[in-house]
Amino acid sequence: MDPTKKTIVVFSGDLDRLMAAFIIAVGAAAMGNEVTMFFTFWGLNALRRDNPPAVKKDFMSRMFGWMMPRGARKAKLSKLNMGGMGTAMMKRVMRNKNVASVDELIGQAQDLGVRLIACTMSMDVMGIKQEELIEGIELGGVASYLGSADEANVNLFI
Amino acid sequence: MDPTKKTIVVFSGDLDRLMAAFIIAVGAAAMGNEVTMFFTFWGLNALRRDNPPAVKKDFMSRMFGWMMPRGARKAKLSKLNMGGMGTAMMKRVMRNKNVASVDELIGQAQDLGVRLIACTMSMDVMGIKQEELIEGIELGGVASYLGSADEANVNLFI
Amino acid sequence: MDPTKKTIVVFSGDLDRLMAAFIIAVGAAAMGNEVTMFFTFWGLNALRRDNPPAVKKDFMSRMFGWMMPRGARKAKLSKLNMGGMGTAMMKRVMRNKNVASVDELIGQAQDLGVRLIACTMSMDVMGIKQEELIEGIELGGVASYLGSADEANVNLFI
């Protein structure tokens, strides 16, 4: 076990939970930790790029692709969303208070060497291809997660 | 602390979170870990059997019993449920991609020696009796959870 | 790493998740652990006092203050709330079964020396001032959380 390693499973795609996950990850990386984040289920959507290249998909994958938010900028609050009004209000307040957006936090995390790993099983089920994700994302499965978690001293599921 | 022990508190009864919890648990057990899962609050519903024997219950317990899903097969997605349509769609895709269902994962977990512990306080509050749970479930309280967590190197709350 | 230290990030303000967080915290403290709880985002609402002194706030902060529950007594179940009916039912059952309320659990936690830390960034974003929180709450940021988590052997995100 290494006291400078941390892992976070990012299961949720909610704006507020993504904020929490990245604030902890960026904070830990800035303090010299090796941080690994695993994006699974709805969390995977945070890594989708805005204008993905056209990829061949079956009908179900196309449906999931349409229904799920493409990128962190489309993420909504888990509470008080109120048809998008609460989310817009929260984002505006955060901008006014100089709190970084999730997109900015992803950039900071990558600059600080945080490893962002997309869960291959979730990609398969949701029909998301690697070229639809932002740059710099690794792919991995549950064994890869467990390998990292075994070496870390803080492991969170968000 | 033992690097081959893991614990997971399964608080949620959502299909997607149950999937995540069991995929991690089964993966860890397959890699030689001793895994203990504590089912509390809504997570307890995943362990309810389909055709429970008749048990005497007070009015409130009967109400909770009716309102909550009986078994993992009745669990719904936390997002995109859309009146059951999204959940059905996700289940179909998972079947097509040969992803095990939660029921199958519970069986695999038990075969691999994962300990499944039902939280006694939750059982008391929700009025669920041991004979309403599937076979092979242990009962325990918060002290039992903390005892296991103290020995483990990965502890998740899902 | 100290096997008698535990941390819990309390992100959620849902009644059921608050119950789970405090039952684990109080249980661990009663067994001799040093427990630190970090209240962030919706979790912060659990620490708001019922009759706060008048504080100057900008429009957005006032809006957030109105929309979010003031104190744990106003918290709702994450599931089966059913317009408040499910929450009321659950609270009544818990009282009948002699399960402590979240308010009582907060008191027990404080009596047992559990450190309750409010996330300063969340306070800033939501426009909540220290004098609006109950007595005995410390303030801290992500670095303070990571410092505690590094020393603990169990770290949960709820």
C-alpha to C-alpha distance for C121 and B67, rounded to whole angstroms: 38
Q: Could you read off the pLDDT of C24-60 as tens digits, one per residue?
A: 999 999 999 999 999 999 999 999 999 899 999 999 8
Using the Cβ of C34 and the Cβ atoms of chain B, whether some distance falls under 8 Å is answered with: no
Task: Please list every residue in chain B whose beta carbon sits closer than 8 Å to the beta carbon of residue A68.
Answer: 80
Q: Could you read off the pLDDT of A111-152 as tens digits, one per residue?
A: 999 999 999 999 999 999 999 999 999 999 999 999 999 999
Chain A to chain B Cβ contacts (< 8 Å): 62
Chain C: list its partners (3+ Cβ pairs within 8 Å). Answer: A, B
A1 pLDDT more than 90: no
pLDDT at C2: 86
C3 pLDDT more than 90: no
- Rounded mean pLDDT of chain A? 96
Q: Could you read off the pLDDT of C109-136 as tens digits, one per residue?
A: 999 999 999 999 999 999 999 999 999 9
pLDDT at B3: 86
Q: Could you read off the pLDDT of C68-91 as tens digits, one per residue?
A: 999 999 999 999 999 999 999 999
B8 pLDDT more than 90: yes
Q: Could you read off the pLDDT of B69-110 as tens digits, one per residue?
A: 999 999 999 998 999 999 999 999 999 999 999 999 999 999
A3 pLDDT more than 90: no
C-alpha to C-alpha distance for B72 and B109, rounded to whole angstroms: 14
What is the arithmetic mean of pLDDT over A21-44?
98
Q: Could you read off the pLDDT of A43-65 as tens digits, one per residue?
A: 999 999 998 999 999 998 998 99
B2 pLDDT more than 90: no
pLDDT at A30: 98
Sign of the dihedral defined by the CA atoms of residues B128, B66, B87, A66, in that order: negative
ipTM over 0.90: yes
SS (H, E, C) B50-106: CCCCCCCCCHHHHHHHHHCCCCHHHCCCCCCCHHHHHHHHHHHHHHHCCCCCHHHHH
B111 pLDDT more than 90: yes
Q: With H, G, I as helix, E, B as strand and everything else as coil, classify residue A125.
A: helix
Describe the strand order of the beta sheet including B2-10 as a list of residue ranges.
B138-140, B115-119, B34-39, B2-10, B152-157
A19 pLDDT more than 90: yes
Nearest to C149 by CA among C47, C26, C35, C40: C35
Nearest CA in chain B to A68: B80
Using the Cβ of A156 and the Cβ atoms of chain C, whether some distance falls under 8 Å is answered with: yes
Using the Cβ of C100 and the Cβ atoms of chain B, whether some distance falls under 8 Å is answered with: no
Using the Cβ of C143 and the Cβ atoms of chain A, whether some distance falls under 8 Å is answered with: yes
pLDDT at B1: 79
The model carries a pTM of 0.97
Q: Is the CB of A99 less than 8 angstroms away from the CB of C9?
A: no
| Identity at A135, one-letter amino acid code | E
CA distance A108 to chain B (A): 26
What is the arithmetic mean of pLDDT over C92-116?
96
C-alpha to C-alpha distance for A142 and C24, rounded to whole angstroms: 27
CA distance A3 to chain B (A): 12
CA distance A127 to chain B (A): 9
C-alpha to C-alpha distance for B57 and B61, rounded to whole angstroms: 6
Nearest to A148 by CA among B102, C146, B31: B31
What is the arithmetic mean of pLDDT over B140-155?
97
Q: With H, G, I as helix, E, B as strand and everything else as coil, classify residue A6.
A: strand
C-alpha to C-alpha distance for A26 and A35, rounded to whole angstroms: 8
C1 pLDDT more than 90: no
Confidence label for C16 from pLDDT (cuts 50, 70 and 90): very high
Residue A89: CB partners within 8 Å, gap ≥ 6?
Answer: C60, C63, C64
Nearest CA in chain A to C148: A154
Across C67-76, b (16+ Cβ under 10 Å) vs e yields ebbbbbeebb
B131 pLDDT more than 90: yes
Q: Is the CB of A24 less than 8 angstroms away from the CB of C68?
A: no
Name the DSSP class of A38: E
Task: Please list every residue in chain A whose beta carbon sits closer than 8 Å to the beta carbon of residue B99.
Answer: 121, 124-125
Nearest CA in chain B to C93: B125
